[in-house]
Amino acid sequence: MIDTFELMNQMINQMQQKIFVLEQQIKEKEKNDQIIKNELNHFKLLLQENIQYKSKEQENIQSNLTTPKESLNQTLITSDLTTPQIPTKEDIIKEEGSDTTTNLSQSPLLTNVKNKCFICGEVLDSAQFSSHFLHHQQSITPQPVTCFAKPLIPISSINPNIKPSHQNASNSSCQLTPIVLSPQTSSKFPCPLCDVNLRTNDLLIKHIEAAHYKLLK
């Protein structure tokens, strides 16, 4: 069994060693802190010297540039009085807009568009097409309109009460049956198959195709 006195001695020795180590660490730390403080003071002095040097250089530069700057401003003022006025952005837009308008009216993309007359087959520019077609309307006299219908079944089978008024109506359903519609002086165009009055030859042709020769499925 360990004696109490010896145990106490061991504890005291350990404490003394620990205290010694801590004191050494404090001394090292104080030494390092002093080194850091010295470096800090050194850089503070360098900073102050650099700031003073910079301020002096700025004063020298400003004093050297004062006279040339004033003369440069005077030169710019006199040059503005002698040089012609530069066009503004609005002036350029106005000029380009006017040129664009004239160019569009004379553009070959618009004037060279070809249109084929469906009456005589002549190929014309778009600018000439309207006057050319108006000439046709004024010069062409009314001509008989011929409707070529191709019935698939006899007309009598559609409506037994309808009596064909043209000789080919009762022929074979595979043949073309021409119906000649003479120009009328009145405003009525009677259907030769059912005596319905229509206003124009075009409506009469559409009526015959729809009512009497329509494809039945």
Let me know: does 96 contact 80? Beta carbons within 8 Å: no
Per-residue pLDDT tens over the stretch 70-100: 555 555 555 454 555 555 656 655 655 544 4
Q: Would you state the structure tokens that stand for residue 215, as one six-digit string?
A: 């494809």
Angle, alpha carbons 127-133-138 (nearest 5°): 135
Name the pLDDT band for 63 (thresholds 50, 70, 90). Answer: confident
Can you give the pLDDT at residue 6?
83
Contact 189, 200 (CB under 8 A): yes
* Residue scoring higher pLDDT (146 or 29): 29
- Domain ranges within the chain, ordered by starting residue: 96-140, 141-211
| pLDDT > 60? residue 185 | no
Nearby residues of 147 by Cβ (< 8 Å), 6 or more positions away = 178, 179, 181, 205, 208, 209
pLDDT, tens only, 16-59:
999 999 999 999 999 999 999 999 999 999 999 999 999 998 88
- pLDDT value at 198 more than 70: yes
Q: How confident is the model at residue 131 (pLDDT cuts 50, 70, 90)?
A: confident
Q: Cβ of 33: how many Cβ atoms within 10 Å?
A: 10
CB atoms within 10 A of CB 125: 13
**Backbone phi and psi for residue 29, each to the nearest 5 degrees, phi listed first:** -65, -45
Between 203 and 1, the higher pLDDT residue: 203
Helix, strand, coil share of the chain (percent; to 5): 60, 10, 30
Q: What confidence tier does 215 reach under pLDDT thresholds 50, 70, 90? A: very low
Q: Is the pTM of this model over 0.85?
A: no
211 - beta bridge partners? none
Residue 182: the pLDDT is 46
Going from the C-alpha of 145 to that of each of 72, 94, 208, the distances in angstroms are: 90, 56, 13
DSSP β-bridge partners for residue 177: 149
